[in-house]
Amino acid sequence: MSQVKVLAVVPARGGSKGIPRKNVRLMAGKPLIAYVLMTLQQAETVGKVVVSTDDEEIRAVALRYGADVIQRPAELAGDKITLDPVIFHAVEQVEAGGYVPDVVLTIQPTSPLLRPETVDRAVRLLIESDAETVISVVNETHLAWTVDESGRAVPLYEKRVNRQQLPQRLKETGGVFASRRDIVKPTGRIGQDVRLLELDPIEGLDIDSVADWWIAEKALNRRKIVFRVDGSTEIGLGHVYRALTLAGHLLDHELLFLMRADLPMGVELVQKSFYPVQTFTGDPVAAIQATHADIVINDILDTQLEYVRALRELGLFVVNFEDLGPGNHAA
């Protein structure tokens, strides 16, 4: 795998009509295109990243975030030009400079929630199988319709059944389009053997409208909040109920309840409320660190100074409820 050369091409035109200047418009404080460029820099399998553009501002942003830039000719920058000749042109330019890839990735700048691990999964799936192309998709299985030439509605299903019983319908996300180099031509990047990589709807979000933009910013501003709380016959369940009430007001964020494994009463109550629960034994600081939390909410009565200081040293924002212990002064 280490000898496989992987080139990532990010096609980014300056002309965007739906959302003006979309690729360089600030999303949660950064230009939209910056997110995929940061993702590609973190991906273990990617050896080179280039941006194909006709726009000077996009060029400057791309260079700032560590990508090389391919100047896209005017004849490949029109509204009706497909991506195939654009990617082929970029690959030829890179190869002329001495970098000859085995794998070519097309990564759309409109996929700001794409993760480095997903890029690596796509590359490994391509290399470790007989596939010629790997495409990221999201599940869009629904009762669907189209309209014929007369304007009459025509169903795209044979029978009205529950979603789970419908034939699966998968939509390309634009996030990852991986092809073996010999498949990449001016007229296409899809081989005979195609594999699909299904993403969850948030990671697979493609920015095409103001509504998409709003959802993506919401997701980028999300924080991981860990509730450190326990409940038992001796402690009671009041702390757990309070944490559950607070959790109900924080659904914009990723929530996790971290609880002692030897106190199952509280764990069962949270599970019945359908929140994610993780139990631990031993050092709570190590358990919290392993969650990669941004915020820790302690509702465990009196905390110790060393415990709270250890959390702060991890860079966590710490909130304590009903805490009369020495740790309260460090939170």
21 within some domain: yes
Of 175, 204, 220, which residue is a domain's last? 220
- At 295, which CATH number? 3.40.50.11190
Q: Mark whether 215 and 235 lie in a shared domain.
A: no
Summarised one tens digit per residue, pLDDT across range 96-125 is: 999 999 999 999 999 999 999 999 999 999
**What does the pLDDT average to over 56-77?**
96
Contact 237, 266 (CB under 8 A): yes
Q: Mark whether 148 and 207 lie in a shared domain.
A: yes
**pLDDT at 1 exceeding the cut of 70:** no
Contact 300, 228 (CB under 8 A): yes
Q: Mark whether 291 and 269 lie in a shared domain.
A: yes
**Beta strand pairing call for 170-180 and 103-106:** antiparallel
Q: Mark whether 235 and 216 lie in a shared domain.
A: no
1 within some domain: no
- At 145, which CATH number? 3.90.550.10
Q: Mark whether 199 and 232 lie in a shared domain.
A: no
Of 186, 220, 254, which residue is a domain's last? 220
8: its two tokens? 């990532």
290 within some domain: yes
**Domain coverage including residue 85:** 6-220
154 within some domain: yes
Q: Whole-angstrom Cα distance, residue 98 to residue 101?
A: 10
Query: Is the pTM value of this prediction over 0.85?
Result: no
165 within some domain: yes
Contact 10, 114 (CB under 8 A): no
**What does the pLDDT average to over 2-15?**
91
Q: Mark whether 181 and 77 lie in a shared domain.
A: yes
Q: Mark whether 111 and 130 lie in a shared domain.
A: yes
Summarised one tens digit per residue, pLDDT across range 165-187 is: 888 889 999 899 999 999 999 99
Q: Mark whether 142 and 254 lie in a shared domain.
A: no
The pLDDT-based confidence of 68 (bands split at 50, 70, 90) is very high
Q: Supply the DSSP string of 115-171, one letter for each residue.
A: -HHHHHHHHHHHHHSS-SEEEEEEE--S--EEE-TTS-EEESSSS---GGGSPP-EE
**pLDDT at 2 exceeding the cut of 90:** no
Q: Mark whether 252 and 143 lie in a shared domain.
A: no
Q: Mark whether 284 and 209 lie in a shared domain.
A: no
209 within some domain: yes
Q: Mark whether 174 and 264 lie in a shared domain.
A: no
Count of the separate structural domains present in the chain:
2
Supply the mean pLDDT for the chain: 94
Summarised one tens digit per residue, pLDDT across range 83-96 is: 999 999 999 999 99
Long-range contacts of 263-268 (CB under 8 A, 24+ apart): 263/230, 263/231, 263/232, 263/235, 265/231, 265/232, 265/233, 265/237, 266/229, 266/230, 266/231, 266/232, 266/235, 266/237, 266/239, 266/240, 267/231
72 within some domain: yes
314: its two tokens? 């991890």
Of 188, 220, 252, which residue is a domain's last? 220
148 within some domain: yes
pLDDT of residue 301: 83
Q: Mark whether 176 and 246 lie in a shared domain.
A: no
Contact 23, 12 (CB under 8 A): yes
Burial class (CB in 10 A: 0-12, 13-18, 19+), 58: buried
**pLDDT at 251 exceeding the cut of 80:** yes
